[in-house]
Structure 1
């Protein structure tokens, strides 16, 4: 056979076999596309049988939602079932959308409440106090404790409650906070704004050392750290470590509150500070050693530093010894 005829015959055979070869690659391309679309921990089943489409297989604790494997127990976009999205202020827990509350608050029947003070949820959700009683410290009682004031049927801290700032029904403006019993646009020296309230992060068990840092149920907050007891110089009063020599809510002892306008100095209530102390906000402090008011009101030392002789530093001076912070 002439050479030209043999070449023509070979070309015809190649053209006939190419479509068959190309079509044999199509299933492989399909598998590759499914693999690229598969999210989560899923895999592709390419042994589903002749003529069957390749399928995404999710892990045992996941559900296929569209082309993505999702944990419907915790996924806020697919909570409990595919496409069931939680609201912006909700989280997905055990397959149900639940209200996400800030530090110190508990979700009860669709609302964030303080179970230490809420008479309808006193100590726990649904635990209502009898008529005439208030909720104080998580227990129903006839009077308020721990330096709180009875306003209607609630015990409130008028030093930092924006709806009862300095007294019952004295509400701060929408852009204000309540600090040391006065409304303002910022917190006074020695306190920090956490979730709409001015708190002392050195002693607040719900914000110990920083906003949202909560201590355990059997712990107290002292010098900005959670522990099972208070550091030297502070006293445990109603789950908080306080300095009874200067704390107006516990002046000289737990629950001994100074009158409005008075300060606590050297463990006694009065109109001014004594013994060389300086009034910063509503407290008498020793600016020579106070790390929140070192050398003057509002002059805070950096983390890890101490206040000695009115100056911030890494160690004490003048023969002094570091105890706590």
Structure 2
């Protein structure tokens, strides 16, 4: 590969610069120079420099190819006189290559050697293939390792020692081709305005265009070689195991060795050969050229018609000649010779020369190609685009768009490429959900969330830290979960709606001040999220309502003494809010009922000794309010019922030991009350079941270890009872459920650290349970979705 950059100081008698590259090849007749490239650069900026006084600088960057590492390369620069092709002066340098490195050859071309005294280590142009050095004329040789090394041949560095009267071009190459490229046209893999460039998805590695997504020699980049037996899959080295038994064989540019089970580099299919006119030799596992084509400089070339490689890979026809049957011929003036041009050439109507390029589709031998008769280049036909020099279908999902990137394939989908953009179509029984395909229906015992089916999904709802205490879960009218909770980080009340992103977008329902403990969330009949909670800063009971525009309005419900802890909110049959809570100053159970005019009526429900902690408020099917709560003085579980006349009656439900903390009240499908609570004496999760005659049956739901704190009870539409609670012994979140007529079943939902405190459950219309809870290890709010019981 040779690139050239020029910043000229041009005299009047010079109008072109000709650059020539040749290789020194050993033949039976001895060492011969095979011209591989000639290019003429027109120049128009003139100076009045005197003859013999001007200098023409040029910089060549040479990049090695493996086949040429042991060969010499000859670089010549000639100044051509105005009106002819005679070289007024020539500069000639011989050098070689350094493996894997680009090196610079800088030249200074003088008008005449006789009138110039060259500085030490400097040479000047001389005739007959020699150079003038200090000041005798010699055949100049520069050792490759003495040349300047560069990392980016596409941006050749300037040399301040080379003066120029024109504006420097910033070191960008004026042109370049590979040393095996003949004629005046750059090789298709070279950007005429820049350095060497491999077409996507190929990358240049050691002067070779490589697909780093599949080639184990250069996997992912030009420096990573996969260990023996590994494959390169999507740019990563992967051990496929025994390819004879792994069920998938080998991938990338490898094949399965049936003797060892290793994946070895090589092909087994034509599709693995990425260049035009290549097929796979399944015996040698090498990509070889089709019959009639010969490999020259990595490409398969028709040496019978291509003037770059005419008859063999070293013969390049001179400018204007054609290649017929592997021999260079001068057709004369193609405008008048009666036959025009042949091979891969076209007739230049201006000069009559046969120039390399196409003028007819038949000259384009690559698959799916057509001739651009304006540029005289073979291009991809409509409906195809070039990837690595091969024309592939615009619908090819393995080479989609200008970057020729393979389309990702989500599970349970078929990739497609449309208008150069990757997409996918989900298989039957699946539907599109974002960038994935989600099952339309999950198997029994599983529920879909975030594109996947599972019996339990666990997510972090708020990962900001020091958030999630006093979590309260509720479902909106669409069955979507919402959580209100306390953030100790800001001492405020927060609210989140479930999302697939983490953390869920959160809203501040009330701040500042130390507000939000004992949060109780419910949705009003109008669909507004409403939260009752304790204002610890002012020792008040408050209520916050989310308005239709997304803002929040907070109001004080009770500011008498220290009130508002253990709050529980419910909406009555008239759609108005009601709250049960603890009056810590008077040690009473208190009830607040909102009136239609927006005011609140406050009642003491039970003022006998110290009562009213762990309240849970619910309305029965008849519209009467009931409150379960803890009697601290007697260590009992109690229930208060509001009569139709507004008076309250109370009864003790369980007095066997220290019972009643963490109570949660709900009414089953038969309209009878159930209360889940913690038995401090036995360290059990207990349940009180109301009977049709008014009696109560006490049941131990979970008696294993210390369990039952933070109990939260709910029923689904099928009458299945669900309880979320905390396992103190194992610091885990647990879930108990019971179908009508069956026994309780218990499962651990999350045991990843100290998790499960402040849990709150709600069950949707499909029977799926949603739980919000606190992760004390990470101090975050978490969410669990549990599939409906089978």
Greater helix proportion:
1
TM-score under structure 1 normalisation? 0.28
Greater strand proportion:
2
Flag the structure with larger Rg.
2
